[in-house]
């Protein structure tokens, strides 16, 4: 873990439920941080907290759905904090509700933030990482991209694309010294986009905490990339079952209360 100390991690979505936990875990390991989000006040508050741990922290406000802000982000970060060793694409937005009723603009904005932004920010930092023969791109994806969530179908599609792209990229980068990891959490309790919708998830589903996701990120930084699942329930079996017999997974999801839970989120706004 000593090797991580003093490296610079650019973390998007730093002020969200999972982002804060990742930022705290990385600071605890001695990494310097560039915190990114749109809300400058929230970023500055988190920066002040983390400076107390003795690492260097810069706060950079940027809207990742804006093309030029997205393109300029790595340059702004590098000019203030130095070489980016690690990029953590964590910013994301959820989408809940029936697809037949979705605002077409929402389809674009979910894909833009959850899928296009991680790809294009990575595209900007990768050539330099390859040149230096070192670097790690961590994409915070979701199990939603592996099991296909009804009433969150665009969100699930955005994460499916993110995971598959990460796996392909990691293979493409083999022998370059640069690694790509997709972290796929199931439902996260306590804080974050689903917790903020204030509809209690069925107990049988099982949830993880933002801290468990953060721990998985820290461990992944010493791994060889690929996909890391964060779930309090066995998930690989469900994924395998889905490939072989999709109907069984749907009936299990119904029995566990997942489908009713997702339907009940329709029309919900964050509290
Ligand atoms: N919570 C879960 O159950 C769960 C499960 C699996 C995967 N995930 C994934 O984990 C990641 C973090 O989720 P979370 O639960 O922590 O969500 P969250 O609490 O809603 O945080 C979202 C973060 O993204 C930033 N953001 C939103 N729109 C942005 C934009 N246009 N430009 C730049 N930054 C933007 C927000 O900051 P500003 O508002 O300041 O911009 C915030 O820091 C997401 O990718 C999510 O899909 C979450």
- The pLDDT, as a whole number, for residue 193 is 74
Cα 211 to ligand 1 centre (Å): 15
- Does residue 199 surpass a pLDDT of 70? no
- pLDDT digit string, tens, across residues 217-228: 999 999 999 999
List the CATH number of the domain containing 201.
3.40.50.720
- pLDDT digit string, tens, across residues 34-82: 999 999 999 999 999 999 999 999 999 999 999 999 999 999 999 999 9
- pLDDT digit string, tens, across residues 78-100: 999 999 999 999 999 999 899 99
E strand or H helix at 170? helix 153-172
- The pLDDT, as a whole number, for residue 1 is 42
> Mean pLDDT over all residues of the chain?
90
Ligand 1 atom with the shortest distance to the CA of 189: 3
Residues with CB under 6 A from ligand 1: 12-19, 37-39, 42, 63-65, 90-93, 113, 140, 142, 185, 187-188, 192-194
Mutate to test the pocket of ligand 1, among 145, 192, 209 (most ligand atoms within 8 A of CB): 192
Specify the number of domains making up the chain: 1
Q: 25-39, 67-81, 103-117, 232-246: which has the minimum mean pLDDT? A: 232-246
**Is residue 235 within 8 Å of 186, Cβ to Cβ?**
yes
pTM for this predicted structure: 0.92
Helix, strand, coil in percent for the chain, rounding step 5 = 55, 15, 30
Active site residue 155: yes
Mutate to test the pocket of ligand 1, among 25, 91, 143 (most ligand atoms within 8 A of CB): 91
Angstrom distance (rounded) from CA 231 to CA 236: 10
Task: Tell me, yes or no, whether 270 lies in a domain.
Answer: no
Q: In this predicted model, which residue has the larger pLDDT, 85 or 247?
A: 85
Task: Tell me, yes or no, whether 44 lies in a domain.
Answer: yes
Task: Tell me, yes or no, whether 101 lies in a domain.
Answer: yes
Q: Domain range spanning residue 76?
A: 2-265
Angstrom distance (rounded) from CA 153 to CA 162: 14
């Amino acid at each position: 873990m000593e090797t991580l100390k003093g490296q610079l991690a650019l973390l998007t979505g730093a002020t969200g439920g999972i982002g804060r936990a990742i930022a705290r875990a990385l600071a605890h390991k001695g990494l310097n941080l560039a915190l990114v989000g749109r809300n400058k006040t929230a970023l500055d508050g988190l920066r002040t907290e983390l400076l107390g741990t003795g690492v260097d922290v810069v706060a950079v406000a940027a809207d990742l759905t804006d093309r030029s802000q997205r393109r300029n982000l790595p340059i702004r970060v590098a000019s203030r904090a130095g070489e980016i060793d690690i990029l953590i694409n964590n910013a994301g937005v959820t989408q809940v509700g029936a697809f037949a009723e979705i605002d077409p603009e929402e389809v674009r904005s979910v894909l833009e933030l959850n899928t296009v932004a991680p790809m294009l920010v990575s595209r900007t930092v990768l050539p330099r990482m390859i040149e230096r023969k070192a670097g790690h791109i961590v994409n915070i994806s979701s199990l939603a991209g592996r099991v296909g969530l009804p009433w969150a179908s665009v969100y699930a599609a955005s994460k499916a694309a993110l995971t598959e792209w990460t796996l392909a990229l990691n293979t493409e980068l083999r022998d370059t010294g640069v690694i790509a990891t997709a972290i796929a959490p199931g439902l996260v309790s306590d804080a974050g986009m689903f917790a903020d919708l204030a509809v209690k998830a069925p107990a049988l589903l099982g949830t993880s905490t933002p801290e468990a996701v953060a721990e998985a990120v820290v461990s992944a930084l010493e791994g060889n990339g690929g996909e890391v699942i964060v779930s309090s329930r066995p998930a690989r079996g469900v994924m395998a079952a889905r490939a072989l017999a999709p109907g069984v997974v749907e009936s299990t999801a119904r029995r566990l209360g997942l489908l009713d839970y997702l339907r009940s989120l329709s029309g919900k706004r964050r509290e």
